[in-house]
């Protein structure tokens, strides 16, 4: 397997609005990130993916960009951004920009022009369609609820928006659009960024017939088959690669929800000429039979289904393409609340166990801000506390249509809302968690008194220090990056165990995902090997052992 720096990296994701506020206006900013670079260096991560920081009306917290060449004013200035790049590079940390080019904001100059008239030079930058029988051109629903089409009175046509109506989709069929995007990408590469995380990049090519989608649940048809991994997506990415990516030594990761192994090879195969790695979601998708409305369910995840999916991606992508490793991000609930146990008795142990399981696998690991502290879901129980457009729109749509009971939907939000991951970073145990001196834009989790960076930095047994050790191990041992993966005890209901193999070296990872103790037989070949890391205090690793709840360890020989 080819060696690459981006395979050996550990990425830390920053959600800037909630990371660190340096000027007391209640939202995070670039200066705030600069202040925390030493913290990130201490953790050991060497790549930052920062969610969008460009000019935006913030309908979707920056995933609605109104100017691709200006920094969002509340986050700072271009000078601040350049300073961030400089300071990060000084510390050996690279910076990825979040590239959001499936859509722009409806306040982007291109869209303001496009809307003006049917013959405006920018008209064809977006996807406009005539009404069909006085209605929407097809039945597609948007990813945040409602129809994916918005009627515009001015020209009496509909425009497509797969996300909110303030996020019109760009028309990638138009060569001018593609050239604008490539020019803008070069602008940032020339400024010195180190790569791109590409937002919903698998959705840029639409089936030009725009057929109705299947109505699976709720009120609208599914656009998936016609605009995810669409007909020209690989052609467009190959063109982007030729025009931009191949000219720089940068890292590229494509957000590719719903991707299959075969498709992943096209996006991120060793010689695909497209991207470096995929970011796929199969392991965080719901398999619950009760999940009638996508992710809106209160059912706990199914461990065996989760394990099977994780194993599938390890085994089937091996040697063919490169994957991202993650359990949480800004769109997902907190990983310890979802896959571990955030009850105080088990929070620390289970957070460390999850990290062990993930960080010893093949792929590039991503740590989402606060995950290294074991931050938990927010569990807001009042609708007013939610700020996320997806949570609010779905609540309204499903309860208004009588498809969900309001009480049940509130419970779903508590477990599944994206805001669970968007509460401010817990830097210390003070009232505002050291995040801001002002009024935070979203409520701070009151458990910052117990869960915060300051106390964990002082405690060598903390989750922070455990992550630090896992990260250091990956940098030290090639086997963790490149070793061949092989699962053990596939059918076990509690244990997730696997080996890695590189030449003569061997690694064994064993994790108990349950709240009960669990038996495991240490393979004879690992007897007498070295324990690299463990979240409890086991000393002997031999024969049949009984793991405590959420226990994890890694052996090496």
Which residues contribute to the site for ligand NOJ (CB under 6 A)? 60, 63, 100, 163, 199-200, 255, 330-331
* For ligand NOJ, the closer CB: 84 or 170: 170
Structure tokens at 488: 């053990």
* For ligand NOJ, the closer CB: 331 or 371: 331
- How far apart CA 422 and CA 326 sit, in angstroms, is 16
Angle at Cα 197 formed by Cα 194 and Cα 201, nearest 5°?
135
Q: Please, are residues 114 and 123 in contact by the beta-carbon 8 Å criterion?
A: yes
Write out the DSSP string of 77-135.
-HHHHHHHHHHHHHTT-EEEEEE--SB--TTSHHHHHHHH-TT-TTGGGB-EE--BTTB
Instruction: Identify the CA nearest to 357 among candidates 538, 469, 508.
Output: 508
Q: Quick one: 530 exposed, middle or buried, by C-beta within 10 A (0-12, 13-18, 19+)?
A: exposed
Instruction: Identify the CA nearest to 18 among candidates 64, 80, 62.
Output: 62
* For ligand NOJ, the closer CB: 81 or 163: 163
Find the shortest distance in angstroms from Cβ 103 to ligand NOJ. Answer: 7
How many other CB atoms are found less than 10 A from the CB of residue 210? 18
Find the shortest distance in angstroms from Cβ 451 to ligand NOJ. Answer: 24
- How far apart CA 225 and CA 387 sit, in angstroms, is 30
- Using the 8-state DSSP alphabet, how is residue 316 labeled? H
Find the shortest distance in angstroms from Cβ 256 to ligand NOJ. Answer: 11
Instruction: Identify the CA nearest to 100 among candidates 199, 31, 179.
Output: 199
* For ligand NOJ, the closer CB: 415 or 555: 415
Find the shortest distance in angstroms from Cβ 14 to ligand NOJ. Answer: 13
* For ligand NOJ, the closer CB: 96 or 470: 96
* Strand pairing category for 47-50 and 94-99: parallel
Find the shortest distance in angstroms from Cβ 441 to ligand NOJ. Answer: 16
Find the shortest distance in angstroms from Cβ 331 to ligand NOJ. Answer: 5
275 sits in the region (left: phi over 0; alpha: psi -120 to 50; else beta) called beta
- How far apart CA 287 and CA 273 sit, in angstroms, is 33
Q: Give the ranges where 360-451 is alpha helix by DSSP (H).
A: 389-400, 406-416
- How far apart CA 541 and CA 528 sit, in angstroms, is 8
Which residues participate in catalysis according to the annotation? 199, 255
* For ligand NOJ, the closer CB: 264 or 481: 264
- How far apart CA 332 and CA 421 sit, in angstroms, is 7
Find the shortest distance in angstroms from Cβ 60 to ligand NOJ. Answer: 5
Find the shortest distance in angstroms from Cβ 100 to ligand NOJ. Answer: 6
The CA dihedral of 88, 237, 71, 427, to the nearest 10 degrees, is: -50
Length of the chain in terms of residues written: 557
β partners of residue 485: 500
- How far apart CA 172 and CA 165 sit, in angstroms, is 18
* For ligand NOJ, the closer CB: 163 or 386: 163
Q: Please, are residues 513 and 496 in contact by the beta-carbon 8 Å criterion?
A: yes
Find the shortest distance in angstroms from Cβ 13 to ligand NOJ. Answer: 10
* For ligand NOJ, the closer CB: 331 or 372: 331
Q: Please, are residues 457 and 464 in contact by the beta-carbon 8 Å criterion?
A: yes
* For ligand NOJ, the closer CB: 201 or 410: 201
Helices 233-243/261-268 angle, 10° precision:
20
């Amino acid at each position: 397997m080819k060696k690459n720096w981006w395979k050996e990296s550990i990425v830390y994701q920053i959600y800037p609005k909630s990371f660190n506020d340096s000027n007391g206006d209640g939202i995070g900013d670039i200066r705030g990130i600069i202040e925390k670079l030493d913290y990130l260096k201490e953790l050991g991560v060497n790549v930052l993916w920062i969610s969008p920081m460009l000019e935006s009306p913030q309908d979707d917290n920056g995933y609605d960009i109104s100017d691709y060449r200006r920094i969002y004013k509340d986050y700072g200035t271009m000078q601040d951004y350049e300073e961030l790049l400089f300071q990060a590079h000084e510390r050996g940390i690279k910076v990825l920009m979040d590239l959001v080019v499936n859509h722009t904001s409806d306040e982007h100059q291109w869209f303001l022009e496009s809307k003006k008239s049917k013959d405006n030079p920018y008209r064809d930058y977006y996807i406009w369609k005539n009404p069909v029988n006085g209605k929407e051109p097809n039945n597609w629903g948007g990813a945040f609820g409602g129809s994916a089409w918005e009627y515009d009175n001015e020209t009496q046509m509909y425009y497509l928006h797969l996300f909110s109506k303030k996020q019109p989709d760009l028309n990638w069929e138009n060569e001018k659009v593609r050239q604008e995007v490539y020019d803008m990408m070069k602008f940032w590469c020339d400024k010195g960024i180190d790569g791109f995380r590409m937002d919903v990049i698998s959705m840029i090519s639409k089936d030009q017939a725009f057929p109705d989608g299947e109505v699976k649940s709720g009120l609208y048809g599914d656009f998936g088959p016609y605009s995810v991994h669409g007909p020209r997506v690989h052609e467009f990415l190959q063109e982007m690669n030729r025009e931009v990516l191949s000219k720089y030594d940068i890292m590229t990761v494509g957000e590719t929800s719903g991707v299959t192994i075969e498709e992943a090879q096209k996006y991120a195969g060793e010689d695909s000429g497209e991207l470096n790695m995929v970011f796929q979601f199969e392991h965080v998708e719901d398999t619950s039979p009760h999940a009638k409305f996508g992710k809106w369910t209160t059912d706990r995840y199914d461990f065996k289904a989760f394990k099977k999916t994780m194993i599938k991606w390890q085994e089937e992508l091996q040697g063919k393409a490169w994957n991202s490793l993650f359990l949480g991000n800004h769109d997902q609930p907190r990983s310890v609340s979802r896959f571990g146990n955030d009850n105080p008795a088990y929070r620390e142990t289970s957070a460390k166990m999850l990290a062990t399981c993930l960080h010893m696998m093949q792929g590039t690991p991503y740590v989402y801000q606060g995950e290294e502290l074991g931050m938990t879901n927010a569990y807001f129980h009042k609708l007013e506390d939610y700020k996320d457009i997806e949570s609010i729109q779905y609540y309204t749509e499903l309860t208004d249509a009588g498809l969900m009971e309001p009480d049940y939907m509130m419970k779903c939000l508590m477990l599944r809302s994206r805001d669970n991951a968007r509460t401010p970073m817990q830097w210390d145990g003070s009232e505002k968690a050291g995040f801001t001196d002002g009024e935070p834009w979203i409520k701070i989790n009151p458990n910052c008194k117990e869960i915060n960076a300051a106390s964990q930095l002082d405690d060598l047994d903390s989750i922070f220090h455990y992550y630090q050790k896992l990260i250091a191990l990956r940098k030290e041992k090639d086997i963790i990056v490149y070793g061949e993966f092989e699962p053990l005890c596939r059918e076990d209901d509690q244990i997730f165990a696997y080996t890695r193999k590189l030449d003569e070296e061997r690694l064994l990872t064993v994790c108990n995902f349950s709240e009960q103790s669990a038996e495991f037989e240490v393979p004879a070949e690992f007897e007498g090997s070295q324990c690299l890391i463990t979240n409890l205090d086991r000393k002997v690793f031999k024969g049949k052992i009984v793991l405590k709840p959420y226990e994890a360890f890694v052996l090496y020989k």
